Amino acid sequence: MDSHHSYSQVKGVSTGVSNLFIKSYVSSKTINKLIQVHDRIFCCIAGSLADAQAVTKMAKFQLSFHSIQMESPPLVKAAASIMRELCYNNKEELQAGFITAGWDRKKGPQIYVVSLGGMLLSQPFTIGGSGSTYIYGYVDAKFKPDMSLEEAIQFSTNALALAMGRDNVSGGVVHLVVITEAEVKHVVVPGNKLPKFHDE
Amino acid sequence: MATMLQKFPSSVSTLNDYNALYPDWTQREVSTGTTIMAVEFDGGVVMGADSRTTTGAYIANRVTDKLTPIHERIFCCRSGSAADTQAIADAVTYQLGFHSIELDEAPLVQTAASLFRDMCYRYREELMAGIIVAGWDRRRGGQVYTVPVGGMMTRQPVSVGGSGSSYIYGFVDSNYKPAMSKEECLKFTAEALTLAMERDGSSGGVVRLAVISEQGVERQVILGNQLPKFSTV
């Protein structure tokens, strides 16, 4: 899930990976689903990881080419648009959804959702993946526009912890990336440090 | 009526979709899509439900009452097939009434839940019913029992059910605290149901609440424009 606030962004992703073809075997507990496609632009991936990795690899290449041609850092919208073109034109073969988020000079922090079939939508915050259904109520209730960085990190961590508590294919550790004009910070919250709720 | 309509195979025509001659709702079963919820507090239970019944994409009833009395201080919340849950509730109401007369005292909530469970488990292949049984009795006070599809029965301090419940697991997990007061439970239930109704297409309408305690049953309705508001919703 992603939330952004006035000057920077927090992206969070929980990392269990389950290979469904081998009867719900967890092939990795610590995989990082936050892929960097440019200096200040990241993508959260969901769905088939193979497809998602292939798409982000291609997008990273096209984005860096575009950035060199334009002689300036790319817009977040440009990155999202490239992902969307790839998803839409190959919609029959691909099974991956993305949240593209980052910071650029023109509009500051932004979040774009690129869904399975290739829709592109800009939102103040968004959630995705199989575990997201369980936290729609929570994020609808708790999100406030213009949160501070600490509040946004707490909000993301809580939401992810709740989703991991209910979704059997989400779990492991929580990866957070904070993107600002100045820097990109990667925070990892291991399972035992996650917030606990009443029934745990 | 739905059985008289012919379903055309796709070989009939590749240019025209003959199955689109008849609207979706003529060929779908009536379902209480739904979000239902019940919470125990010290002295009773709070139960809540939305009010939408759908036949496919058509809303057959937008003011449904899904909180059904089974006995004086025992109610159930129904989700799944409207026909199945109504039939089961009627049968259990009869059985429980008979049992209560034989015993010459008020029945236990656990007894009602067991009757639901026996029926839902025995006929599990034919039925599509998810039920939450809640009420008050003298032995154990306020209790909530959940009998989901398949026929399991378990007691829980808070239980959610129906298609809209998936969206509020996170909210319920984070906001529930043990030992809440009646007013806190009412607010918690109303907020949770509102959030689910905003996200689930099969849930909507008004929020119906019922509080069951030693004193009896109090029912309320929260209309659409009076529902709690959240900043994004």
List chain B residues with CB under 8 Å of A125: 232
* pLDDT bracket for residue A149 (50, 70, 90): confident
> What is the reported pLDDT for B131?
97
- DSSP string of A163-191, one letter each residue: HHHH-TT--S-EEEEEEESS-EEEEEE-G
Mean pLDDT of A99-116: 91
Torsion angle of C-alpha atoms A72, A76, A81, A83, degrees rounded to 10:
100
If one compares A12 and B52, the residue with the highest pLDDT of the two is: B52
> What is the reported pLDDT for B57?
86
List chain A residues with CB under 8 Å of B233: 140
AA letter at A122: S
Question: B160: nearest CA in chain A?
Answer: A134
> What is the reported pLDDT for B141?
96
List chain B residues with CB under 8 Å of A135: 169-171
Whether B231 sits inside 8 A of A197 (CB atoms) is no
Three-state secondary-structure class, residue A27: strand
| DSSP state letter for A124 | S
Q: Is the pLDDT of residue A8 over 60?
A: no
* Regions of chain B where pLDDT drops below 70: 1-27, 31-32, 232-233
Find tokens 């979709």 and name the residue: B17
Q: Is the pLDDT of residue A9 over 50?
A: no
User: Mean pLDDT across chain A, nearest whole number?
Assistant: 83
Per annotation, catalytic residue among B3, B14, B26, B34: B34
Angstrom distance (rounded) from CA A47 to CA B15 = 34
Whether A137 sits inside 8 A of B169 (CB atoms) is yes
Question: What is the value of pTM for the model shown?
Answer: 0.84
Tens of pLDDT along A15-66?
Answer: 443 333 334 566 666 677 889 999 999 998 888 888 999 999 999 999 999 9
> What is the reported pLDDT for A21?
35
> What is the reported pLDDT for B33?
80
Contact B73, B216 (CB under 8 A): yes
Q: Is the pLDDT of residue A14 over 50?
A: no
> What is the reported pLDDT for B89?
97
Contact A151, A160 (CB under 8 A): no
> What is the reported pLDDT for A198?
74
> What is the reported pLDDT for B77?
96
